[in-house]
Amino acid sequence: MDWPSLVDVLGGPLAGIGILVESAGVPFPGEALLLTAAAWAAARHDSILLVMLCGFFGATAGSDVGYLLGYRGGRPFVERFGHIFHIRPDHLARAELFFARHGDKAILGARFFLGLRTWNAMLAGMARMPFWRFQLFSAIGGLVWSAAIGVAGYLVGSNLPLLETIIRAMGVGGTVILVLILLVLLVARERATRPR
């Protein structure tokens, strides 16, 4: 089997595994993997459905693992090692109170924010959010998120010639400036989602 065929077969499942790892509470570029797998599928004229399903199952299963970790032993772990992740006890108390009041909306919305996507399931478990409620909103959020990111990646992959034309027109300097602006925006978004 040649390399492109191998990527065709494994791209979606590997993205799903990456998203599972990220959703379970390990900082990992799951969103980038899903975007890349979707763009690859578009460039190869493959179906986007498999990629989105892998993203959905990875997000849901990973969130379940994160919830279980938070429910079983998250608080003692965070209290002991929270300083590594810049999480203080008052952050934890506020997060638990927030999840008790707004858990449904938090689970739905957090999927779209770097940092929150990684920690929201564990925080829901620590806050003792009822599992059935968590599962429902986690599944809805995972489905909407994987569809949105999958479609975005597919659009990028379907328009590679257009992107190449734009990059050529902008030149190397313009492309570098655009990439730097995007990186600054990503870093700013990540810092905005970190607990204070």
Domain limits, the chain:
3-158, 160-196
Q: What is the pLDDT of residues 104-136, one digit of tens each?
A: 888 888 888 877 777 788 888 888 888 999 999
pTM over 0.75: no
- Residue 30, both tokens: 């799951």
Confidence category of residue 3, pLDDT binned at 50, 70, 90: very low
Query: For residue range 173-194, what is the model confidence (pLDDT) as tens digits?
Result: 666 776 777 777 777 766 665 5
Helices (H), the chain: 3-23, 30-43, 49-69, 75-81, 89-110, 116-126, 131-158, 160-193
pLDDT classification of 140: cutoffs 50, 70, 90: very high
Model confidence pLDDT, tens digit, residues 64-76: 999 998 888 877 7
pLDDT over threshold 60, residue 8: no
For range 141-165, the mean pLDDT: 81
